[in-house]
Amino acid sequence: MNYLTLFNNVMRELNEPTISSSVSGQSASFHVFIGDTINKAIRDIDAHQMEWPWNYTSAEYALIQGKEVYKHPVKLTISGGSGTFRKHERITGGTSAAVGVVQVSEASYLVVEPISGTFSAETITGVLSGATRTVGSVINSRHIEYDNMILQPRNVLEGGEFAVSTDYSNYWTSRASNPAGTTTSGTPAFSNEHNGSVVLNDGTIDAQLYDTDGKTDMSEGETYRINVRFVSGDTSATTATLKVYAGSSSDKDADLATSFTTTNLGWGKTYTTTFTPSTQTPFITLSNEASANVHVDFVTVSLDQEGKKLGFITWEDYSSNHRAYDNSRNPDRYGTPSYVTKSLNNEIVVTPVPKTGGYNLKFDFWDDPTELSADTDTPDLPSRYHDVITARVRYYAHTLRSDYQAAALCLQEYEDGVKRMRTENINTNNYIRSV
């Protein structure tokens, strides 16, 4: 049910006239009361449980070398506009002048780390991409899952997932020959097969590893791992070979030149190798020299390290045992973060201070409930629980009218509804235990 339907359902249950439109535009005091109380009821339901599943969002922050403090995320619902935001690029608000970093980019929303100011319903613009979107709602995070934060080597290669909705040509360039000097005459193409893929029919593509400020966080001397999965696109083939190169613009195979050959043509296979870049912005090249098609499902590039769960420590522990070292800004004390804490200002603090920007911090958080304002707005909670909202609103309406017997009945209906919601969404085990 949307805002208008919820309003009219309450009015019918109270034996009051319904309206045809514009809940927020009503002037009669009782109508204004009911409209406001619908949002109050939603907030009441949200207060019963921090972790309702419909408020859940995941975040993935790119850590920055030398920066240990990160603000809690905000979620911006978006529509319209043009272009594509780049992960980890800065955005600015056209009206508020607020600045943030895009940490997660989805079709209908962005997860943003605020840097300065407060975003509003406005047009936002990507500083590097030039992409624009219209912000509908600005939703604050209300609960961060500090106990399960994961530090993971960051994939520094954009556009390597070849998702169905991704145009590979936004990130990769077709070449007439590979770095070994072999001419490849085929034209790479995008395919919806295999969860999206790039088809190399005697073709070569390469991508330069740039991030949002025009360079990567890659470091010469560090070891990086490439993972690539590919399958044959030719049913008559017996093997399929993909060549992978890495190097600078003038010598694109100086850091890596390897061949992967698979005979598992139906399922394909993921292959991996490591290389040490000689420049901060190397090129990654994929090449198929055979006339038979090769479908590249994905390719990733990240530090050659394992992900790990960060230990949570209290602010007192951090202040006593880590803060002085971190605040010294001594690069010799920088390292791979092992712990996370929540500051007194509700900020995420990792320690030790990151020595490289090659990590992502992955965590879960839960949003504040979205306020309803337009007639067509719908609550975040599933429609099967909307009767719990109306029960709560009727409780407040009967209380306003001093009909305490009717209010008590509505309160009981509301509390039973919340119990049902908790049973179905929070208390149910997702496993079977052997006894």
Mean pLDDT of the chain: 89
DSSP class of 177:
B
Residue 188: predicted pLDDT = 87
Span 373-386, pLDDT tens digits:
999 999 999 999 99
The amino acid present at 25, given as its one-letter code, is G
Residue 232: predicted pLDDT = 85
Residue 159: predicted pLDDT = 83
* Structure token digits, residue 394: 């009727």
pLDDT over 60 (residue 211): no
Separation between Cα atoms, residue 383 and residue 368, nearest integer Å: 18
DSSP class of 277:
-
The DSSP result for 183-226, as a single string, is B-----EEESGGGSEEEESS-EEEEE---TTSS-S--TT--EEE
Q: How many CA atoms lie within 13 A of 10 on its CB side?
A: 31
How far is the first Cα of the chain from the last one, in angstroms, to the nearest whole number?
43
- The 3-state DSSP composition of the chain as helix, strand, coil percent (nearest 5) reads 25, 35, 45
Separation between Cα atoms, residue 287 and residue 347, nearest integer Å: 45
pLDDT over 80 (residue 276): yes
- The secondary structure element, H or E, covering residue 351 is strand 347-351
Supply the Cα-derived Rg of the chain in whole angstroms: 27
Helices (H) and strands (E) in the chain, counts: 6, 24
Span 100-139, pLDDT tens digits:
999 888 889 999 999 999 999 999 999 988 999 999 999 9
Please identify which residue in the block is written with the tokens 């922050």.
Answer: 61
Q: Which residue has the higher pLDDT, 132 or 211?
A: 132
Among 181, 178, 277, which residue's Cα sits nearest to residue 226?
Answer: 277
pLDDT over 90 (residue 325): no
Span 81-97, pLDDT tens digits:
998 888 788 999 999 99
pLDDT over 60 (residue 212): no
Pinpoint the alpha helices (H) of 14-88.
Answer: 29-47
Q: Which residue has the higher pLDDT, 350 or 221?
A: 350
Least reliable range by pLDDT among 41-50, 194-203, 396-405? 194-203
Per the document, the length of the chain is 435
